């Protein structure tokens, strides 16, 4: 085939790909993968770990590569054509996946190997792969009757399409909203950089004035600094109404349909709920354990959150006579109170966080901790001219990974930040195949007069995603199915969240926090203020995170089929965590992409779970020194390089010497 995606390639051949190549490439890769599976099934030799389990892990390599390229483009560089292909490809891929896990002959071979695992001389990693592979069949219907298998296929096909539709609706609603301001008075309070960005955005669309959108780099500064309360209200309501406007892009029925289908699927497979099904493969284990975990932290955080909210309400009343604090007031008055208490705001800090310097900083920290070196290269194909590429090597010059970074918002790119992989690490035929890893973010763009200057929140986001990237880059396992971030979901956030801690440390900040005009290092008093303000409103922030986890569990830990009103369901879920009055026009569930499109269903609690791990792990670094190579080497050896080769608690204890305790998190947050 004259198709760059099915010819041999190392790095993704972006410049040679047209959208017309994707569907034929996916179909061709599926055909190849089916042939590889057929060869395993028709093997007349008795099933063994090598000819069945290992062969299965090595199969479908081209399909993995093509789909990783395609679905990242659907998130980072999409258009109507790509979205249409995604709608066509998703059910085909779902069908193929079911063809594998519902193949009785293949399962028979896998089961034979699984049943004799005690007699086999397997390594720990091989044992883990065998368990994972067997469960991928049993947990996906291999033991079902033919009729039930047919039902499962139908459900999976529908779920894949509904998830895509959910995401497309949110992207369309985000892109559809524009707030064009023509009166300079409406910009009162906004920093110069935000005004300049709004003006540049308006000009890019041939409009006069200042354009505010629902993209984070536009939305967040406006909600944080704009003095005009009615405009903040207008913007906040638009942001919270995505997928909840009873129009063609409404997600209410999709939410109920997705959760009902997930519940039906779990019952079909013998589980009490979707959460029971998901959590079997998580550190938490059961819905009861998740509720217990969330409620334990809620109990400790709620008094602090309530007190913080009272203080914020009193401050807003004193400052502007606000009788009732609303959701569109929260960020604005929090920032004002923070400035009053700490004389610190993002505008003071931003000049010290030029994007290029922060990138150099995170690279330097990776060098100090793990001996990695990053060299920019223009020899790697990219999907957009804004994407930067780097060769990653170790201290001896050995190639470790290829790293892509895509930092700014643009049309066709969804909000948020994420890490993805274009090529998995594995050891095959004695060769260690190294990974290709990417991070995608939506940071403030450069303006005609200023480079890209990051808010402190954007700095921690960059460190967070880079932590995921390190997990991918430093992977060193035999099998791609256990490599890098292929771990339990409530463990996957540990490498990302722990790296954020370095953003608060003087020793780390001095490496990269330099004024973009003068080159002066971030003053010590500002560093101290960052540390002092780190616990500011942590009770409220904790309550917010817990509310998302509880909302997720409310949809997935019981039967949702009797739910007729998404908003009522949501209000009930939020009843124990609400501080602000409800906004009738808004609904979180209809734009909660993490759980309805992004794979976090029954797993949103894992952010908090991983915070317990990261606070406990960083306490170890702090005790020994944040650049202590002995501790860093242990973290690399037992966590970053090991992927999913063993149970995460075993790996964690090997690194830390003990199980994690929530006390480190509660102490760091100032809650105890």
The Cα–Cα gap between 136 and 207 comes to 53
pLDDT digits (tens, 9 = 90+) for 174-225: 999 999 999 999 999 999 999 999 999 999 999 999 999 999 989 999 999 9
Is 465 catalytic? The answer is yes
**pLDDT for residue 345:** 81
What are the C-alpha distances in Å from 531 to residues 116, 265, 504, 668?
55, 47, 6, 10
Of 551, 520, 355, 535, the C-alpha closest to 451 is 355
Q: Which residues of the chain have pLDDT under 70?
A: none
**pLDDT for residue 64:** 96
Of 334, 326, 297, the C-alpha closest to 549 is 297
| Domain 14-143 CATH (choose: 3.30.1050.10, 1.10.10.10, 3.40.50.300, 1.20.1050.40) | 1.20.1050.40
**pLDDT for residue 624:** 97
Burial readout 569-585 (b: 16 or more C-beta within 10 A, e: otherwise): bbeebbeebebeeeeee
Please pick, among 465, 493, 505, 611, the residue that the annotation labels catalytic.
Answer: 465
Asked if the domains 252-342+538-603 and 351-533 are classified in one and the same CATH topology, the answer is yes
**pLDDT for residue 304:** 95
The Cα–Cα gap between 456 and 447 comes to 18
**pLDDT for residue 306:** 97
Domain residue ranges of the chain, discontinuous segments joined by + = 14-143, 177-231, 252-342+538-603, 351-533
User: How big is the chain by its Cα radius of gyration, in Å?
Assistant: 25
**pLDDT for residue 670:** 87
**pLDDT for residue 199:** 96
Give yes or no for a contact between 348 and 255, defined as CB atoms under 8 angstroms apart. no
Give yes or no for a contact between 621 and 628, defined as CB atoms under 8 angstroms apart. yes
**pLDDT for residue 489:** 85
Angle, in degrees to the nearest 10, between helices 327-342 and 524-533: 140
| Residue 154 C-beta-side C-alpha neighbours within 13 Å | 8
> Helix (H, G, I), strand (E, B), or coil: what is residue 102?
coil
DSSP symbol at 395: T
**pLDDT for residue 93:** 94
What is 252-342+538-603's CATH topology? 1.10.1370
> Helix (H, G, I), strand (E, B), or coil: what is residue 404?
strand
The Cα–Cα gap between 558 and 573 comes to 12
The Cα–Cα gap between 510 and 500 comes to 15
pLDDT digits (tens, 9 = 90+) for 418-465: 999 999 999 999 999 999 999 999 998 998 899 999 999 999 999 999
- CATH hierarchy code of domain 351-533: 1.10.1370.40
**pLDDT for residue 672:** 81
The Cα–Cα gap between 488 and 378 comes to 35
**pLDDT for residue 169:** 97
Residues 6+ apart with CB under 8 A from 406: 76, 384, 386, 387, 388, 413, 438, 439, 440, 441
Element of type H or E holding 556 = helix 538-556
The Cα–Cα gap between 349 and 521 comes to 11
**pLDDT for residue 274:** 98
Residues 6+ apart with CB under 8 A from 410: 384, 386
């Amino acid at each position: 085939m004259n198709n760059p995606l099915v010819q041999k390639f190392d790095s993704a051949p972006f410049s040679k790909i047209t959208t017309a190549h994707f569907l034929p490439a996916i179909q061709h890769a599926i055909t190849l993968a089916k042939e590889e599976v057929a060869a395993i099934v028709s093997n007349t030799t008795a099933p063994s770990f090598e000819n069945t389990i290992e062969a299965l892990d090595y199969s479908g390599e081209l399909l993995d590569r093509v789909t990783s390229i395609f679905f990242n483009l659907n998130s980072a560089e999409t258009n109507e054509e790509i979205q249409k292909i995604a709608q066509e490809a998703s059910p085909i891929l779902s069908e193929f996946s079911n063809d594998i896990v519902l193949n009785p002959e293949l399962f028979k071979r896998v089961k034979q190997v699984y049943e004799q695992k005690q007699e086999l001389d397997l390594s720990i990693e091989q044992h883990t792969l065998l368990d994972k592979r067997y469960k991928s069949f049993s947990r996906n219907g291999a033991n079902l009757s033919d009729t039930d298998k047919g039902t499962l296929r139908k459900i999976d096909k529908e779920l894949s399409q509904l998830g895509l539709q959910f995401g497309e609706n949110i992207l369309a609603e985000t892109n559809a909203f524009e707030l064009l301001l023509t009166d300079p008075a409406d910009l009162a309070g906004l920093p110069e950089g935000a005004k300049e960005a709004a003006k540049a955005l308006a000009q890019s669309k041939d409009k006069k004035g200042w354009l505010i959108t629902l993209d984070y780099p536009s939305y967040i500064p406006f909600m944080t600094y704009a003095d005009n309360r009615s405009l903040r209200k207008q913007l906040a309501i638009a942001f919270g109404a995505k997928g909840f406007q009873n129009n063609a892009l409404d997600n209410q029925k999709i939410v109920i349909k997705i959760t009902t289908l997930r519940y039906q699927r779990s019952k079909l497979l013998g589980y009490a709920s979707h959460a029971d099904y998901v959590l079997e493969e998580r550190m938490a284990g059961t819905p009861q354990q998740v509720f217990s975990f969330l409620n334990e932290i809620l109990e400790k955080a709620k008094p602090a959150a309530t007190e913080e909210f009272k203080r914020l309400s009193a401050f807003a009343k004193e400052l502007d006579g606000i009788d009732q604090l609303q959701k569109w007031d929260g960020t604005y008055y929090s920032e004002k109170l923070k400035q009053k208490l700490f004389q610190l705001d993002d505008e003071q800090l931003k000049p010290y966080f030029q994007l290029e310097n922060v990138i150099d900083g995170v690279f330097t920290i990776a060098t100090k901790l793990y001996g990695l070196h990053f060299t920019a290269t223009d020899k790697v194909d990219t999907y957009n001219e804004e994407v930067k590429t780097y060769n990653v090597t170790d201290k001896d010059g050995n190639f470790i990974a290829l790293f892509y970074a895509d930092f700014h918002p643009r049309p066709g790119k969804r909000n948020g930040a994420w890490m993805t992989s274009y090529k998995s690490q594995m050891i095959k035929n004695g060769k260690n195949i190294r990974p290709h890893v990417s991070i995608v973010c939506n940071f403030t763009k450069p303006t005609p007069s200023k480079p890209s200057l990051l808010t402190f929140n954007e700095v921690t986001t960059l460190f967070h995603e880079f932590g995921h990237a390190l997990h991918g880059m430093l992977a060193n396992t035999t099998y791609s199915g256990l490599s890098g971030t292929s771990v339990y979901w409530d463990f996957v956030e540990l490498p990302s969240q722990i790296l954020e801690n370095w953003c608060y440390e003087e020793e780390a900040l001095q490496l990269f926090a330099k004024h973009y005009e003068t080159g002066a290092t971030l003053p010590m008093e500002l560093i101290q203020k960052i540390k002092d303000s780190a616990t500011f409103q942590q009770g409220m922030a904790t309550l917010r995170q817990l509310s998302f986890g509880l909302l997720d569990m409310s949809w997935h830990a019981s039967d949702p089929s009797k739910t007729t009103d998404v908003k009522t369901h949501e209000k009930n879920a939020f009843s124990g965590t609400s501080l602000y009055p409800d906004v009738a026009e808004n609904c979180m569930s209809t734009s909660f992409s993490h759980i309805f499109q992004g794979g976090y269903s029954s797993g949103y609690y894992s952010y908090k779970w991983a915070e317990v791990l990261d606070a406990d792990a960083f306490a170890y670094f702090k005790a020994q020194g944040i650049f202590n190579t002995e501790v860093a080497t242990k973290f690399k050896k037992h966590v970053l390089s090991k992927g999913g080769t063993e149970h995460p608690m075993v790996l964690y204890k090997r690194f830390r010497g003990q199980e994690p305790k929530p006390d480190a998190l509660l102490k760091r947050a100032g809650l105890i």
